[in-house]
Amino acid sequence: MPRKVISVLVDNHAGVLARISSLFGRRGFNIDSLSVSATDEPSLSRITIVASGAGEELNQIVKQSAKLLETRAVFEVEPAQGVLRELLLVKVAADDQNRAALREISLIYKAKIIDLSPGSMIFELTGTPSKIDAFLGMLGGYDILEMCRTGVTALQRGARGYVLKERMLP
């Protein structure tokens, strides 16, 4: 199924994330990735959702999201016209035998070693989801102790990639 990256600008209020995400759940869509943060405007938050599904059904959820009172703008971020990034923290078991190989892999992918202890290493990597997946693939032969991914965050390239709803402007 095709994956879509949907960006939703909403009023920064309690409960808005639950309302947006419940639209997907009620329609039987699984959210593959979810990222929420404040924007340059303190009264707004950006919710970035990656979901897989049939085009028309997913488009219907986007339309329903746009109708919510707290929604200021909603749009799809096409990967070719946007910048998509994700953050990975991964802790790998490391000893004298594999530490050099792990360091070499991290250099190739430009991952930072942010913690080193006698039994493990923690790497930090920022990049596209495919870069994160490829790095994890290279670590597949090693003992991954813990891992955390932030989920995709995205912006349209060029000028502002959205239009705020007029009825919501102050």
Tokens of 168: 């919501």
Can you say how many angstroms the Cα of residue 3 is from the centroid of all Cα atoms in its chain?
A: 13
Q: Which residues of the chain have pLDDT under 70?
A: 1, 160-170
- The confidence score (pLDDT) of residue 115 equals 97
pLDDT of residue 168: 42
- The whole-number pLDDT of residue 104 equals 98
Which CATH superfamily includes the segment(s) 3-76?
A: ACT domain (3.30.70.260)
User: According to the model, what pLDDT value does residue 52 have?
Assistant: 82
- Residue 64: predicted pLDDT: 86
**Angle at which helices 129-138 and 99-109 cross, to 10°:** 160
pLDDT digits (tens, 9 = 90+) for 134-163: 999 999 999 999 999 998 999 888 876 566
pLDDT at 63: 86
What's the pLDDT at 162?
63
pLDDT of residue 110: 98
For 93, other C-beta atoms within 10 Å of its C-beta total 13
Q: Is the dihedral of CA 116, 120, 126, 130 positive or negative?
A: positive
Q: What are the boundaries of each domain within the chain? A: 3-76, 83-149
Domains 3-76 and 83-149 share a fold: yes
Quote helix, strand, coil % in the chain, to nearest 5. 30, 40, 30
**Distances, alpha carbon 99 to alpha carbons 94, 121, 164, in Å:** 5, 8, 50
Look at residue 26 in the predicted model and tell me its pLDDT.
Answer: 85
The CATH number of 83-149 is 3.30.70.1150
pTM for the model stands at 0.82
